């Protein structure tokens, strides 16, 4: 049942641009009870839109609640190699995104150090051969334009957008019964997906789900620069000296004329700089100024208006209940350096929707299927987050073997396991457990290497 006052329906700005073909309205729902919403999707970011598309394609009536339809500061521009396949399923091909100039090819990731040394990480040719047959290119995307394209698809499938914000969740045992919104709506439906992002994590709070954090709180500061010759890869810049904790800069060509450039450091570091009286722009300029690549770019731009966000990589357990699932960053946030956030959001959306579609006639998600979904979400997020912290951010392995080989130690298992996941789709219990075992083996290996390098570190040996 859908209950709300007619005047609280706010359809997307696209409606005003006349690109909503058949937006459902309050009156339609009132006039015909058969129109009642079957799935409420909270959050119209990547995970929420992808879930809305999957569900509406399967014939379910979907309401997507999103407070911010302007979508001004989307991040997540460098996609990993599994993302294009997931976008393809939603109706967006690599060729189309490139032709519409809202994406560029990403063929490699290059790590450049302050002392001029660099290394490119390129997916092994074996991934392009049987049995994997993987595409060896992926994309960088202009996220605001990609979001607009996805929103057109969502709306063209008859999904109803409600511009509003969920403020509380009503539960009964393991079920969600309704959500209440800022504008006073109470919305109930048989099924719910929480895709409200990491800051909100509505269902995780409502059900007090177990939470696991990885690494300290971090801050990202980023801006956009015009370029004439973008590269066909993501470039990461880091200091060549051996910092106790890694800071880094990204350069991502989001379209043929624009690069996104961002700086990631711990919240403590940025707080310290701010307390010294520096503005966010000054902090970004000072950091970029350390790399020759940005000297002329900085000179050519008199003022930058950087975006800023603060985040902590928090992952939740038990992200599936009787009639609800959590998808995207609301379930698990992966560190931006892994470039796996977009893939995770699209994957969760696809898997969560499939569980609802398969369970729609029995009224509840089978316990085992929900538990396996939770295990996959948490297992992969922990694998990426703990791996990047131990191997790259923290110093023992990086300082012992060098930052460039450490890049190999992180990327080879990360890329391989991600590809294996995409190819073998470990959905059932047996495959999920087998894949989980594989993740544990790699995580165990990284842990042992980390402890060994800590033991080898001069400071720890001196203390013995
Ligand atoms: C600095 C940074 C850089 C990144 N770079 C990359 C990258 O290069 N590659 C990559 O793959 N990933 C990257 N990521 C991660 C990627 O951006 C995210 O994983 C992905 O966009 C998550 O999508 P989502 O839909 O889960 O969450 P979001 O995009 O956060 O969407 C959540 C939506 O829910 C809405 N919402 C919030 N609260 C409520 C509420 N109470 N009621 C209703 N709606 C609500 C929000 O308005 C928002 O639209 C990066 C992340 C950060 C922080």
pLDDT digits (tens, 9 = 90+) for 373-390: 999 999 999 999 999 999
Q: Centre a 10 Å sphere on the Cβ of residue 443 and count the other Cβ atoms it contains.
A: 17
List the residue whose alpha carbon is closest to atom 44 of ligand 1: 43
List the residue whose alpha carbon is closest to atom 37 of ligand 1: 196
Q: How remote is the CA of residue 31 from the centroid of ligand 1, in Å?
A: 35
245: its two tokens: 């904790």
* Ordered DSSP codes for 66-103: -S--S-------B--TTHHHHHHHHT--HHHHHHTTSE
Q: How remote is the CA of residue 46 from the centroid of ligand 1, in Å?
A: 7
204: its two tokens: 């995780």
Q: How remote is the CA of residue 45 from the centroid of ligand 1, in Å?
A: 6
User: Do residues 12 and 28 lie in contact, with contact meaning Cβ atoms separated by under 8 Å?
Assistant: no
Q: How remote is the CA of residue 200 from the centroid of ligand 1, in Å?
A: 10
User: Do residues 392 and 113 lie in contact, with contact meaning Cβ atoms separated by under 8 Å?
Assistant: no
pLDDT at 460: 56
Q: Which atom of ligand 1 is nearest to the CA of 343?
A: 11
User: Do residues 29 and 5 lie in contact, with contact meaning Cβ atoms separated by under 8 Å?
Assistant: no
Q: Centre a 10 Å sphere on the Cβ of residue 249 and count the other Cβ atoms it contains.
A: 24
Model confidence at 129, pLDDT cuts 50, 70, 90, reads confident
Strand partners of residue 112: 118, 237
List the residue whose alpha carbon is closest to atom 39 of ligand 1: 196
Q: Which atom of ligand 1 is nearest to the CA of 328?
A: 26
Q: How remote is the CA of residue 142 from the centroid of ligand 1, in Å?
A: 14
Does residue 121 have a pLDDT over 80? yes
**463 phi-psi bin (left φ>0, alpha ψ -120 to 50, beta other):** alpha
How far apart, in whole angstroms, are the C-alpha atoms of residue 391 and residue 440? 16
3-state secondary structure at position 446: helix
Instruction: For 192, list phi and psi in degrees, rounded to 5.
Output: -140, 145
The pick from 183, 196, 222, 264 for probing ligand 1's pocket by mutation, whose C-beta has the most ligand atoms within 8 angstroms, reads 196
Does residue 35 have a pLDDT over 80? no
User: Do residues 404 and 116 lie in contact, with contact meaning Cβ atoms separated by under 8 Å?
Assistant: no
How far apart, in whole angstroms, are the C-alpha atoms of residue 338 and residue 340? 5
User: Do residues 337 and 76 lie in contact, with contact meaning Cβ atoms separated by under 8 Å?
Assistant: no
Q: How remote is the CA of residue 241 from the centroid of ligand 1, in Å?
A: 32
The pTM assigned to this predicted structure is 0.92
Q: 249 vs 295, which has greater pLDDT?
A: 249
3-state secondary structure at position 166: strand
How far apart, in whole angstroms, are the C-alpha atoms of residue 394 and residue 407? 13
460: its two tokens: 């720890």
User: Do residues 108 and 116 lie in contact, with contact meaning Cβ atoms separated by under 8 Å?
Assistant: no
Q: Which atom of ligand 1 is nearest to the CA of 222?
A: 1
Q: How remote is the CA of residue 169 from the centroid of ligand 1, in Å?
A: 20
How far apart, in whole angstroms, are the C-alpha atoms of residue 53 and residue 159? 8
Strand partners of residue 161: 64
Q: How remote is the CA of residue 197 from the centroid of ligand 1, in Å?
A: 5
Name the residue among 335, 46, 112 with its Cα closest to residue 219.
335
Name the residue among 374, 388, 377, 403 with its Cα closest to residue 442.
388
Q: Which atom of ligand 1 is nearest to the CA of 331?
A: 26
Name the residue among 2, 85, 13, 74 with its Cα closest to residue 45.
74
List the residue whose alpha carbon is closest to atom 51 of ligand 1: 336
User: Do residues 330 and 203 lie in contact, with contact meaning Cβ atoms separated by under 8 Å?
Assistant: yes
50: its two tokens: 């992808």
Please work out, in degrees rounded to the nearest 5, the angle formed at the alpha carbon of residue 253 by the alpha carbons of 143 and 389.
80
What residues are in contact with ligand 1 under a 6 Å CB criterion? 42-48, 65-68, 75-79, 165-166, 195-197, 200, 202, 220, 309, 311, 328-329, 336, 339-342, 345
Q: 106 vs 20, which has greater pLDDT?
A: 106
List the residue whose alpha carbon is closest to atom 14 of ligand 1: 76
List the residue whose alpha carbon is closest to atom 47 of ligand 1: 68
Does residue 307 have a pLDDT over 60? yes
Q: How remote is the CA of residue 224 from the centroid of ligand 1, in Å?
A: 19
* Per-residue pLDDT reduced to its tens digit, 243-263: 899 999 999 999 999 999 999
Name the residue among 89, 103, 84 with its Cα closest to residue 50.
89
How far apart, in whole angstroms, are the C-alpha atoms of residue 216 and residue 310? 11
- Average pLDDT value for the chain: 89
The pick from 42, 44, 45 for probing ligand 1's pocket by mutation, whose C-beta has the most ligand atoms within 8 angstroms, reads 45
* Per-residue pLDDT reduced to its tens digit, 100-119: 999 999 999 999 987 778 88
The torsion defined by the Cα of 392, 397, 401 and 404, in degrees rounded to 10, comes to -10
């Amino acid at each position: 049942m859908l209950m709300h006052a007619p005047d609280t329906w706010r359809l997307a700005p696209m409606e005003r641009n006349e690109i909503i073909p058949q937006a459902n309205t309050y009156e339609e729902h009132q006039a015909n009870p058969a129109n009642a919403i079957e799935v409420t999707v909270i959050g119209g970011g990547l995970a929420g839109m992808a879930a809305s598309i999957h569900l509406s394609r399967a014939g379910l009536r979907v309401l997507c609640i999103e407070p911010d339809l302007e979508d001004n500061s989307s991040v997540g521009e460098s996609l990993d190699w599994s993302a294009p396949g997931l976008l393809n399923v939603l109706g967006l091909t690599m060729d189309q995104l490139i032709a519409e100039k809202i994406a560029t090819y990403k063929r490699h990731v290059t790590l450049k150090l302050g002392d001029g040394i660099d290394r490119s990480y390129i997916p092994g040719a074996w991934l392009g051969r049987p049995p994997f047959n993987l595409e060896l290119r992926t994309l960088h995307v202009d996220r605001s334009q990609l979001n607009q394209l996805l929103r057109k698809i969502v709306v063209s499938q008859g999904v109803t957008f409600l511009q509003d914000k969920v403020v509380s969740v009503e539960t009964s045992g393991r079920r969600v019964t309704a959500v209440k919104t800022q504008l006073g709506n109470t919305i109930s439906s048989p099924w719910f997906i929480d895709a409200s992002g990491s800051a909100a994590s509505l269902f995780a709070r409502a059900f007090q789900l177990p939470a696991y954090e990885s690494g300290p709180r971090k801050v990202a500061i980023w801006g956009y620069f015009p370029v004439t010759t973008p590269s066909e890869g993501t470039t990461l810049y880091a200091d060549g000296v051996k910092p106790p904790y890694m800071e880094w800069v990204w350069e991502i060509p989001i379209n043929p004329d624009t690069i996104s450039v961002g700086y990631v450091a711990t919240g403590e570091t940025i707080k310290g700089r701010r307390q010294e009286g520096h503005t966010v722009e000054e902090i970004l300029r000072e950091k970029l100024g350390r790399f020759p690549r940005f000297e002329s770019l900085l000179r050519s731009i008199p003022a930058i208006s950087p975006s800023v966000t603060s985040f902590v990589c928090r992952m939740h357990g038990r992200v599936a209940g009787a009639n609800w699932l959590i998808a995207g960053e609301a379930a698990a946030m992966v560190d931006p350096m892994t470039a796996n956030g977009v893939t995770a959001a699209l994957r969760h959306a696809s898997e969560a929707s499939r569980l609802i579609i398969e369970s729609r006639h029995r009224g509840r998600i089978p316990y085992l299927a929900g538990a396996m979904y939770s295990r996959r979400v948490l297992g992969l997020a922990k694998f990426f987050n703990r791996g990047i912290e131990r191997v790259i951010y923290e110093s023992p392995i990086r300082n012992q073997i060098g930052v460039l080989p450490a890049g190999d130690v992180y990327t080879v298992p990360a890329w391989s396991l991600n590809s294996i996941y995409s190819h073998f789709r470990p959905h059932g219990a047996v495959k999920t457990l087998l894949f989980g075992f594989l993740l544990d083996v790699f995580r165990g290996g990284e842990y042992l290497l980390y402890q060994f390098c800590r033991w080898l570190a001069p400071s720890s040996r001196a203390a013995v």
